[in-house]
Amino acid sequence: MLVLVAPGQGAQTPGFLTPWLELPGTADRLAAWSEAISLDLVHYGTDADADEIRDTSIAQPLLVAAGLLSAAALDEAVPGIAPGAVAGHSVGEITAAAFAGVLDDTSALRLVRTRGLAMAEAAAITETGMAALLGGEPDAVVPHLEKLGLTPANVNGAGQIVAAGTLEQLAALAEDKPEGTRRVVPLKVAGAFHTHHMAPAVAKLEAAAKELTLSDPRVRYVSNRDGAVVADGGEVIARLVGQVANPVRWDLCMETFKALGVTALIEVCPGGTLTGLAKRALPGVPTVALKTPDDLDAARTLVAEHTAA
């Protein structure tokens, strides 16, 4: 069984969309989306520097657009591709909702534009950030973070938990790592996402969600909240809204993939983060990260081998 996944914020790098714009029709599609959300996705995906695309209001729609573009390219390379399940990490859940047919592409981009702006406003209230802890057991790491006033905002599995909180709290963490933690790595994000610091964004997303036209997922949609497979479109969106201020449980998503019988995993552009986690948490499951169109051949081969189940 093939699983298709979409990465979250922090995966973006300067110029990462440039090679995708060489594919027929991609530039026109990106231009139409840019007009729909009043954001120049072409500029930010090709010419903007790292500081510009670190801005939450820019990074989030850029990542969803990248995921949709690369998924469309994959669909053209492998007509009728039928993953057994889809999921996304954090903002990647909106990308996954579009994969599953809950939202059309333009609606997904309008929703993520609202999400990015609302979360950027919430992040501006207090100076906050996030840092990845590599190594250590959850039973030791989580209580240590809570002692410092931090939130385990992303429980990613494979020995990785992301802490979120104020810059002062993160500085204290750097000086006082939990037992077993090898490194604390600051992330390229501009706020403490998936914590109470994002609560002001929830109401704005709830209002935006009321304007959406939804469908039920046409493939299994695995939720960040608890790794559950969600079959109702309204519940998918309700979970997306609430997830802004609550932890991401990617570890439970990967447990669900395993329970469903995953045999292969493809991560859409800008791929790499989730395939890295899968290699450690799902040993023996082959993966492909779509970083550039050059990776489509490997994805085509993987799809041919793993879509029968």
The mean pLDDT value of the chain amounts to 94
State the residue for tokens 């492998």.
Answer: 78
Q: Give the pLDDT of residue 305.
A: 82
Q: Is the pLDDT of residue 308 over 70?
A: no
4 phi/psi in degrees, rounded to 5: -110, 125
pLDDT per residue over 155-213, tens digit each? 999 889 999 999 999 999 999 999 899 999 998 788 999 999 999 999 999 999 999 99
Distance, CA of 186 to CA of 134 (rounded, Å): 11
Domains contained in the chain, CATH given: 2-124+196-306 (3.40.366.10), 128-186 (3.30.70.250)
pTM summary value: 0.94
What average pLDDT score do residues 125-153 get? Answer: 94
How far CA 142 is from CA of 19, 150, 160, 206, 226, in Å, comes to 40, 9, 11, 29, 17
Q: Give the pLDDT of residue 189.
A: 82
- Catalytic residue positions? 90, 194
Place 309 in a pLDDT band, splitting at 50, 70 and 90: very low
Q: Is the pLDDT of residue 281 over 70?
A: yes
